[in-house]
Amino acid sequence: MFRIMLVEDDARLASLVSEYLAAYEFTVDVVVRGDLALARFQASLPELVILDLTLPGLDGMVVCRQIRQHSSVPILILTAREDMFDEVSGLEQGADDYINKPIQPRVLLARLRALLRRGERATAAEAPGTNTLAIGALRIARADRAVFWRDAEVAMNGAEFKLFLILAEAAGKVLSRNDILVKMRGIEFDGLDRSIDNCISRLRRKFGEGGAERIKTVWGEGYLFSPSAWE
């Protein structure tokens, strides 16, 4: 049984979609206002979101952006708008698919199943022991040497990536400067080298105002990559 959140103010369409999907083992939670969508999403944690764009309270584009800032859950936009700009904008805001109304129920079902399969493959790729490390909304692709924060890639040079990965792999554990230098360069800290401090300062700036909370300084000990700060 899959949980779907349908954000749709057309009561008749919402009822038809809910009844149809129920026959295929989907549980549908209907939200009729855009300004209620994020709170309902966070309370119910659905496995997929179907989102109209023209909503009372808050525009669907804004709702899409809000959800994407908190989760990588698949989002399918289902709307009567036919402007190509809206489709491009929706995908840029983080939607995974875009369908114009009216829609054939079997086509909608096929699109939903495809998105869910894609999500299952992504989850499997992020399982422990693979080349991807996931902590909250952070994803580190070891093989590609790439870091993604809330689905946006964060640019890093080689040294920054190596240090960031060392910290992330030890999430929840304090690493001293000596620990870090031994892992990075195979040398011990001489008490003067400030390269690690400077690199960590650059990394913090890449993650905005919360950077210092995500990579914490533990005075007299070293640095702590805080797992709970990456949600």
* Domain span including residue 66: 2-125
Is pLDDT larger for residue 231 or for residue 65? 65
Q: Is the pLDDT of residue 208 over 90?
A: no
Q: Is the pLDDT of residue 61 over 60?
A: yes
Q: Is the pLDDT of residue 168 over 90?
A: yes
Q: How many domains does the chain have?
A: 2
Are 166 and 120 contained in the same domain?
no
Is pLDDT larger for residue 229 or for residue 117? 229
Q: Is position 197 within any domain? A: yes
Q: Is position 144 within any domain? A: no
Is pLDDT larger for residue 189 or for residue 15? 15
Q: Is position 70 within any domain? A: yes
Beta strands in 22-181 (DSSP E): 26-31, 48-51, 75-79, 97-100, 132-135, 138-141, 146-149, 152-154, 174-175
Determine the pLDDT at residue 73. 82
Q: Is position 150 within any domain? A: no
Is pLDDT larger for residue 99 or for residue 118? 99
Q: Is position 8 within any domain? A: yes
Determine the pLDDT at residue 83. 66
Strand order in the sheet with 174-175: 174-175, 222-225, 215-218
**What average pLDDT does the segment 13-36 reach?**
93
> 127-142: b or e for each residue (b if 16 or more CB lie within 10 Å)?
eeeeebbbbebbbbbe
Query: CA 167 to CA 222: how far, in whole Å?
Result: 11
Confidence of residue 223 (pLDDT cuts 50, 70, 90): very high
Are 121 and 25 contained in the same domain?
yes
Determine the pLDDT at residue 20. 94
Determine the pLDDT at residue 193. 65
In this prediction, what percent of the chain has a pLDDT beyond 70? 88
State the average pLDDT for the chain: 85
